[in-house]
Amino acid sequence: MTQVISRFDDLRTALAGTVVTPDDPGYDEAREVWNGEIDRRPAVIAYCESAEDVARAVTFARESSLEISVRSGGAHSGAGMGVGDAGIVIDLGRINDVVVDPVARRAVAGGGALLRDVDAATQAHGLAVPMGEIGHTGLGGIATGGGMGWLTRVHGLTCDNVVAAQIVTADGRILRAAPDENPDLFWAIRGGGGNFGVVTSFELALHEVGPQIELGLLFYAMDDAAAALRVARDVITDLPPDVTFQVVALNAPPEPFVPPEHHGKLGFALVVVGFGAEMGHRAVVDRVRGALPPPLFELVTPMPYTALQQMFDEAFAWGSYVYVKALYLENFTDDAIDVIVSRTAETASGRSSVHFYVLSGGYCDMTDDATAFSGGRTPRLGVFLVGLASDAAVLAGERAWVRGFFDAIAPHALGKGAYVNELMPDDVHRLPASYGAKFGRLQQIKAAYDPENVFHRNANILPAS
Tell which of 91, 122, 140 closes a domain: 91
Instruction: State whether 217 and 115 are in the same domain.
Output: no
Instruction: State whether 161 and 308 are in the same domain.
Output: no
251-254 long-range contacts, CB within 8 A, separation 24+: 251/350, 251/351, 251/353, 252/219, 252/296, 252/297, 253/314, 253/315
Half-sphere exposure of 229 (CA within 13 A, CB side): 27
Tell which of 91, 109, 126 closes a domain: 91
Helix axes 334-344, 392-409, angle to 10 degrees: 170
With CA atoms as reference, report the closest residue to 54 among 263, 130, 62.
Answer: 62
Does residue 456 lie in a domain region? no
Does residue 432 lie in a domain region? no
pLDDT of 165 reads 98
Instruction: State whether 389 and 368 are in the same domain.
Output: yes
For the cut 50, the answer to whether the pLDDT of residue 242 exceeds it is yes
pLDDT of 1 reads 46
With a pLDDT cut of 70, the percent of the chain lying above it is 99
**Average of per-residue pLDDT across 67-93:** 92
Does residue 41 lie in a domain region? yes
**Average of per-residue pLDDT across 114-141:** 96
Radius of gyration of the chain (CA): 22
Instruction: State whether 318 and 262 are in the same domain.
Output: yes
Task: Identify the domain containing residue 40 by its residue range.
Answer: 2-91
Does residue 120 lie in a domain region? yes
Instruction: State whether 252 and 340 are in the same domain.
Output: yes
The answer to whether the beta carbons of residues 61 and 407 sit under 8 Å apart is: no
**Average of per-residue pLDDT across 370-378:** 94
Instruction: State whether 125 and 204 are in the same domain.
Output: yes
Q: For residue 281, what pLDDT band results from cuts at 50, 70 and 90?
A: very high
Q: What is the CATH number of the domain that holds 26?
A: 3.30.43.10
- d(CA 346, CA 325) in angstroms, rounded, equals 16
330-356 confidence digits (pLDDT tens): 999 999 999 999 999 999 999 999 999
pLDDT of 114 reads 96
Q: Is the pTM of this model over 0.75?
A: yes
Q: For residue 77, what pLDDT band results from cuts at 50, 70 and 90?
A: confident
- Tell whether omega for the bond before 211 is within 30 degrees of 0, i.e. cis: yes
With a pLDDT cut of 90, the percent of the chain lying above it is 93
Instruction: State whether 54 and 69 are in the same domain.
Output: yes
Instruction: State whether 267 and 414 are in the same domain.
Output: yes
Question: Which residues does residue 167 pair with via DSSP β-bridges, in sequence order?
Answer: 175, 199
Instruction: State whether 295 and 336 are in the same domain.
Output: yes
With CA atoms as reference, report the closest residue to 54 among 21, 25, 20, 94.
Answer: 94
**Average of per-residue pLDDT across 131-149:** 95
The answer to whether the beta carbons of residues 45 and 3 sit under 8 Å apart is: no
Q: What angle (nearest 5°) sits at the alpha carbon of residue 177, between those of residues 171 and 179? A: 145
**Average of per-residue pLDDT across 426-435:** 92
For the cut 60, the answer to whether the pLDDT of residue 461 exceeds it is yes
Helix (H, G, I), strand (E, B) or coil at 181: strand
Instruction: State whether 233 and 332 are in the same domain.
Output: yes
- d(CA 390, CA 133) in angstroms, rounded, equals 21
How many domains does the structure of the chain reveal? 3
The answer to whether the beta carbons of residues 67 and 88 sit under 8 Å apart is: yes
Look at the chain and count its residues: 465
For the cut 90, the answer to whether the pLDDT of residue 73 exceeds it is no
Q: What is the CATH number of the domain that holds 261?
A: 3.40.462.20
DSSP 100: E
Does residue 301 lie in a domain region? yes
pLDDT of 6 reads 61
Q: What angle (nearest 5°) sits at the alpha carbon of residue 426, between those of residues 424 and 431? A: 70
Instruction: State whether 41 and 186 are in the same domain.
Output: no
Does residue 464 lie in a domain region? no
The answer to whether the beta carbons of residues 326 and 384 sit under 8 Å apart is: yes
The answer to whether the beta carbons of residues 460 and 428 sit under 8 Å apart is: yes
For the cut 60, the answer to whether the pLDDT of residue 408 exceeds it is yes
Q: What is the CATH number of the domain that holds 133?
A: 3.30.465.10
Q: What is the mean pLDDT of the chain?
A: 95
Number of Cβ within a 10 Å radius of residue 237: 10
* Alpha-carbon dihedral 41, 44, 49, 54, rounded to 10 degrees: -100
Does residue 194 lie in a domain region? yes
- d(CA 145, CA 189) in angstroms, rounded, equals 8
Does residue 26 lie in a domain region? yes
Number of Cβ within a 10 Å radius of residue 361: 21
Tell which of 67, 91, 115 closes a domain: 91
For the cut 60, the answer to whether the pLDDT of residue 444 exceeds it is yes
For the cut 80, the answer to whether the pLDDT of residue 405 exceeds it is yes
Q: What angle (nearest 5°) sits at the alpha carbon of residue 341, between those of residues 435 and 336? A: 45
Instruction: State whether 268 and 362 are in the same domain.
Output: yes
Helix (H, G, I), strand (E, B) or coil at 342: helix
pLDDT of 311 reads 93
* Least confident window among 219-228, 284-293, 403-412, 426-435: 426-435
